[in-house]
Amino acid sequence: MLDFGILFPAVLNGLTTGAVYALVALGLTLIYGVLHIINFAHGAALMLALYAVYLLKEKLGIDPYLALVAVVPGMFALGYLLQRVVINRASHGKDENILLVTLGLAIVMENLALLAFKSDTRTIETAYTLTTVAIGPAMIALPKLIAFGGALVVSALMLLLMARTDLGRAIRAVAKEKHGARLMGIDVDHVYAMSFGIGLACLGAAACFLMPAYYVNPQVGGGFVLVAFTIVVLGGMGSFAGALVGGLLVGVVESLGGLYFGESLGQVGIFAIFIAVLLFRPQGLFGART
């Protein structure tokens, strides 16, 4: 075993990375876990949001955390329109078609970004990018700590939304019994579009918390797609608390895997978890809450 002085920072680092994963997965929990819209464009949408944060900072000098007020509504609008105009129309009510349409959207978004920004990797400079905070023997970058807090806040907000608001009730009703919900006067198409919009809005928040400590290039979303699906399935479809815990767990697994097996093989651990969970425990670690 490695000693505490190495293990503790690795776990802590994994937790902060995991918090970002959880942020990305929260949106997918709503879209995929609750409504079973298989959104392959989730990573690509995150990439667009990261570019939005990047452009706001570079062109207008807006701080990434301040950009929340612009990026979150922007992503919501994008999601609402995409679901209403493209995905809903193309799906013809079949899951396979949604799979294909969102895959097509992902390809289009990624390559439009490639056209517009080339394949260069870009980062932003802020005053606090390199600030670190000491926790015990570990030094953690301040942006990562803020992202950790952000993940907690966003998951709490999502739980409140689902449990306490009319929209949350409508979403749960539609997820359970679409036709029944329609008969009760719920505008099902609107609810789907709202959910998709909120899911992408979560990505907007994730992008703002992620960007100060991360980078963006047109392919950056690809790495997040499978991780996000892993977390949603691991946490139990549709469970927001599960997504948070699942995200943290995946972050720690990746960090420790990297420590023991080297950087690139560490990622295998994530996919191994994913395959194992799907095969042996498809209801997720915490069971499905519908």
Partner 1 sequence: MRDLASIALFVVVVACTPLVTQSGVALNFIMMALYACLLAQAWNILGGFGGQFSFGHALFFGTGAYVQAIAQQYGVNPWAALALALVASALVGVIVGALTFRYGLKGSYFALVTLAFAEVFRIVALSVPFTGGGVGLMVPLRESAANMQFATRAGYLWLVLALVTVALLVSAWLRHSRFGAYLQAVRDNEDAARAVGVNPFRVKLAAIALSGALMGAGGAFYVQVFQYIDPGIAYGPSTSVEALVAAIVGGMGTLWGPVLGALALHVLADLTRNLFGQLPGINMVIYGSVLVLIVMFLPRGIAGIGVPVRWLRAVRRGDRNG
Q: CA-CA distances (angstroms) from residue 85 to 9, 102, 190, 232? A: 46, 13, 11, 26
In total, the chain counts a number of residues equal to 290
Among 8, 65, 97, 152, binds partner 1 (CB under 8 A): 97
Cβ-based nearer residue to partner 1, 163 or 275: 275
Q: How many CB atoms are closer than 10 A to CB 285?
A: 16
To the nearest whole angstrom, how small is the minimum distance from the Cβ of residue 230 to partner 1? 8
To the nearest whole angstrom, how small is the minimum distance from the Cβ of residue 170 to partner 1? 24
Q: For 63, how many CA atoms within 13 A lie in the half-sphere containing its CB?
A: 7
Among 62, 70, 103, 167, binds partner 1 (CB under 8 A): 103
Q: Strand, helix or coil at 65? A: coil
The secondary structure element, H or E, covering residue 283 is none
In sequence order, which residues have a C-beta less than 8 Å from that of residue 248 and are 6 or more positions away? 14, 15, 18, 19, 22
x-marked contacts with partner 1 along 202-221 as a string, rule CB under 8 A: ----------------x---
Report if residue 278 touches partner 1, rule: CB under 8 A: yes
Q: What is the 3-state secondary structure (H, E, C) of 109-167?
A: HHHHHHHHHCCCCECCCCCCCCCEEEECCEEEEHHHHHHHHHHHHHHHHHHHHHHHCHH
Report if residue 122 touches partner 1, rule: CB under 8 A: no
Number of helical H runs and strand E runs in the chain: 12, 2
Report if residue 271 touches partner 1, rule: CB under 8 A: yes
Phi and psi for 189 in degrees, rounded to 5?
-60, -40
Q: How many CB atoms are closer than 10 A to CB 196?
A: 27
Q: CA-CA distances (angstroms) from residue 228 to 42, 131, 250, 274? A: 8, 28, 10, 10
Cβ-based nearer residue to partner 1, 119 or 179: 119
Report if residue 279 touches partner 1, rule: CB under 8 A: yes
Interaction with partner 1 in 230-259: which residues (CB under 8 A)?
230, 233
Among 149, 268, 283, 290, binds partner 1 (CB under 8 A): 268
Report if residue 288 touches partner 1, rule: CB under 8 A: no
Report if residue 107 touches partner 1, rule: CB under 8 A: yes
To the nearest whole angstrom, how small is the minimum distance from the Cβ of residue 32 to partner 1? 8
Stretch of 64-72, 92-100, 162-170, 178-186 lying at the interface with partner 1 (CB under 8 A): 92-100
DSSP 51: H
Cβ-based nearer residue to partner 1, 185 or 262: 262
Cβ-based nearer residue to partner 1, 2 or 108: 108
Q: How many CB atoms are closer than 10 A to CB 217?
A: 19
Cβ-based nearer residue to partner 1, 119 or 125: 119
To the nearest whole angstrom, how small is the minimum distance from the Cβ of residue 103 to partner 1? 7
Among 2, 6, 77, 108, binds partner 1 (CB under 8 A): 108
SS3 content of the chain, % helix, strand, coil (to 5): 75, 5, 20
Note the residues at the interface with partner 1 (CB under 8 A): 36, 38, 86, 89-90, 92, 95-97, 99-101, 103-108, 110-112, 114-115, 118-119, 218, 222, 226, 229-230, 233, 262, 264-265, 267-268, 271-272, 274-275, 278-280, 282
